[in-house]
Structure 1
Amino acid sequence: MRRSFAFTCTLLIIGWLLVAIACVQVPAYTFWPAAFGALTLPVALGLNLLAVPYWLLRNWRVAALPLLVAVLTWPHFQRGVALHPLRVAPAAKEDGLRVRVLSANVRIFNVYPQLRNAGLASSRSMIQWVAESPAEIICLQEFYNEPRTSTGKEKDVFNSFERIGARSGRQGFLSRTLTNSIGAEFGMAIFSRYPILRRGTVKFGKLSQNHAMWVDLRLPNADTIRVFNFHLQSMSLDEKDIVDSYSSKAGFRSKGLGLLRRFKRGMVARSWQVDTLTRRFERSPYPLLLCADLNDLPYSYSYDQLADDFQNAWATVGNGVGPTYNGKLPFVRIDNQFAGPEWQVDDFWVHYEIPYSDHYPTTATYHLPAKTK
């Protein structure tokens, strides 16, 4: 009876796993409950893996079933927990070109009063670190700049566009979403040591911090590439509210339902935003590199749509979860870089030594092989 019950549980786990994978394919704007089903996928993957050694000890014939399912669903497992323990650093290549890309949500360089510290130390350090980065391409979300024409008293600190751009030998493109009363600019930015040939912005309705921008860059070997920098709809979830929602029944009643509603709205918005972008990606005549604050987990529709056609840099070469959220919620990877099939991902790392924002910066190195004549 125990074996019969265990076998039934194994079949239920496999069924759950398949349903969760199907849910990942469904955009929340067509059927939002599927998005919550997709979030259970890592649990189903883990339980299926646990079923393999269980049945190996009892009946190897039955173990073949969860083992086969594990093999077939391994790419989904790799999205959340990358495993490349035997990987070695790639050798230097004589052909093609290597490009380093830095992506970071800089949280407006902590300009707001509640984010500041003594002497604006974190703001100064963050801007200096980005400006001194060896990366040839830099993509920044939640960017803030006080130009020389600003009337702000701290523009010597927050003159970030010039410091990261021209002073550091880079061209820059600032996609402004707001200019305030002192002339300070909010938005997103791309900086490049390669010439910027063309540029543009993709709006998701009214232009806000959640939008996309792109540039076409001319590489030293005369190739042209297109780089997208985008910031999908924010989760709008407060850490304290999340803790309160599961700490007690009263907390769930007061906070939980509100969190679920906000989470639902965010998932619906991100699903149509990523669909808007994937149509733009399909029209690109050049190899693509994508930098994004997805505000979504690897087991989501928005991540899935990107991972279907692009290489996720962390999933390709990383080890472990690779969390990028700098907060109390553990194991959350919402910042990602993706590369088109023309690229080879050489390295990817998360800068845990840079704690100035609520997002850790990421850097990747890509290799674009020389074209065969």
Structure 2
Amino acid sequence: MNKVSRVTVQIIGGANVASILLMLLIGNADKVDPVVWPKLSNMGLFFPIVLAINIFFLVFWALVKVRMTIIPLLGFIVCYGPVRRYCPLNLPSTPPKGSIKVLSYNVYSYAGWEERDKPNAILQYIKRQDADIVCLQESSENEVGSVQVDSILGKVYEYKDTAKNKGDCMTIFSKYPILSKERIRYKSKGNMSCAFKLRVRHRDIIVVNNHLETTGLSLDDKEQFQQLVKGELGGRAVTRTSKWLINHLGRQTKKRAPEADAVARYIAYHSGVPMIVCGDFNDTPLSYAHRIISKGLVDCYVETGNGPGISYHRSRIYVRIDNILCTPDFKPYACKVDKSIKNSDHYPIMCWLKL
């Protein structure tokens, strides 16, 4: 190898090390308090980019200078925690007999404005899944009609309960008796978390259904974001839109933090009770909200799922913001995000739990 190529290798190697340090920094964005540092707390959104860069370096070194692959490989080891939370890889697991199937789904008001002359696709999907416990977010029945909801799902589920906060609505369907419900108190104009106590095979468990503070992006905002991603905005427009987006997401994350704190306090207060915590967190696996809520819990997708598990899929925004967590009383199996139904802006997430 001549002198020039050695210098080139050193420069590229330095760039690889820098990308690993950046990946480590961004991968630990969940440690940043959004109330104090709202903008920095959203760094986790950029983790897929730095992860892809390190994968590129791994392929590059494998083709150009094999012994240098040690750099990106060490990067994956150093960043193992955030890499696994973002994109877990697990062996297939078969749910044992007697497992409880749990489905969590932001149903987007059942997309009731679509094909009104046909049976609602989301309701039919939920019926086919035949889960034991179904937690829904944005489950207002105004568009689809309560008669249709009850006629389709009432045949499968003996127990149903709802919680409402202004325009928001969440619903639980259960094959097990619902004993009580309790709103988890936090300040929000339209989002909420609600705990339902269920009797499952002579044991009481708690199911916490969450719909935390949204990103607050309007249709116009999402359109601008799409243009930004496609490269359709001019120089100044790119800067202006990027700054606005960072500031806006920071404000929403700051609102979401105390909601997550309230849910975490509720979970800690009921320590010792078997608990399932699920729903739309509106935040990524590398976020403060996810970290603070999942403390002491098992993330069923990280434990048994595979891949990034994208659950929000509209407007060129692709993130996993829907979750199923559980206390160690349960053993999770075969958690997955089901991309077979696209009527909502979210995909459903499901898992089997053995109590």
Normalising to structure 1: TM-score of the pair? 0.80
Q: Which residue, out of 307, 310, 318, partners 2:297?
A: 310
2:215 counterpart of 1:235: yes
RMSD: 2.9
Map 1:165-314; keep pairs closer than 5 Å: 166-178=154-166, 187-206=169-188, 208=190, 210-220=191-201, 222-237=202-217, 238=219, 239-245=222-228, 246-249=231-234, 251-252=237-238, 255-284=241-270, 285-314=272-301
Matched with 2:122 is 126
Kindly provide the CA deviation profile for residues 243-285 of structure 1, in whole angstroms up to 9, marking residues without a partner as x. Answer: 2344222543664443333212112122222122111111123
* Partner residue, 1:150: none
1:48 & 1:211 partners in 2: Cα distance?
38
Query: By how many angstroms is 1:98 displaced?
Result: 1.0
Equivalent in the alignment of 1:354: 341
Q: Percent identity?
A: 23
Aligned residue for 1:143, secondary structure, equals: coil
Distance 2:69 2:127 in 1: 54
SS of 2:49 mapped into structure 1:
helix
Deviation at 1:101, TM superposition (A): 0.7
Deviation for aligned residue 1:242: 0.5
Q: Is the 8 A contact 1:291 1:338 kept in 2?
A: yes
Give the Cα–Cα distance (whole angstroms) in 2 for the partners of residues 106 and 305 of structure 1: 25
The structure with higher relative contact order (CA 8 Å, sep 6+) is 2
Q: Distance in 1 between matches of 2:269 and 2:280?
A: 22
Q: CA deviation at 1:195?
A: 1.4
* CA 1:83–1:70: 2 relative to 1, 3 Å: same
**Code of the aligned partner of 1:107:** Y
The gaps in structure 2 that reach 5 residues or longer are 1-6
| 8 Å contact kept, 1:49–1:67 | no
**Distance in structure 2 (CA, Å) of the matches to 1:253 and 1:66:** 31
Shift of 1:10: 3.3
Unaligned runs of at least 5 residues, structure 1: 147-153, 180-185, 369-373
Q: Which amino acid aligns with 1:23?
A: A
Check the 8 A contact 1:346/1:366 in 2, yes or no.
yes
Please say if 1:141 is aligned against 2:128: no
**How far apart, in 1, do the equivalents of 2:66 and 2:83 lie?**
25
1:158 matches 2:146 = yes
**Pair 67,215 (structure 1): closer, same or farther in 2 beyond 3 Å:** same
**Aligned equivalents of 1:15, 1:140: Cα separation in 2:** 39
Change (3 A) 1:348 1:119: same
Which amino acid is the alignment partner of residue 194 of structure 2?
M
Give SS of 1:119's match.
coil
- Count of aligned residue pairs for this structure pair: 341
Matched, 1:323 2:329: no
Q: Note the alpha carbon deviations across 1:155-194, whole angstroms, 9 max, x for none.
A: 8x43366446654332122112248xxxxxx511112111
Amino acid at match of 2:233: S
Q: For 1:347 and 1:54, how far apart are their aligned partners in 2?
A: 34
Indicate how the Cα distance of structure 1 residues 90 and 159 shifts in structure 2: closer, same or farther if over 3 A, else same.
same
> For 2:89, what is the secondary structure of its paired residue?
coil
1:77 aligns with 2:83: yes
Residues 215 and 36 of structure 1, relative CA distance in 2, 3 Å threshold:
closer
**Distance of 2:313 and 2:18 partners within structure 1:** 36
Superposition pairs of residues 15-30 of structure 1, within 5 angstroms: 15-30=21-36
Contact residue 17 and residue 44 of structure 1 kept, 8 A: yes
**Distance (Å, rounded) in 1 between the aligned partners of 2:197 and 2:288:** 27
Aligned mate of 1:31, from 33, 37, 42 = 37
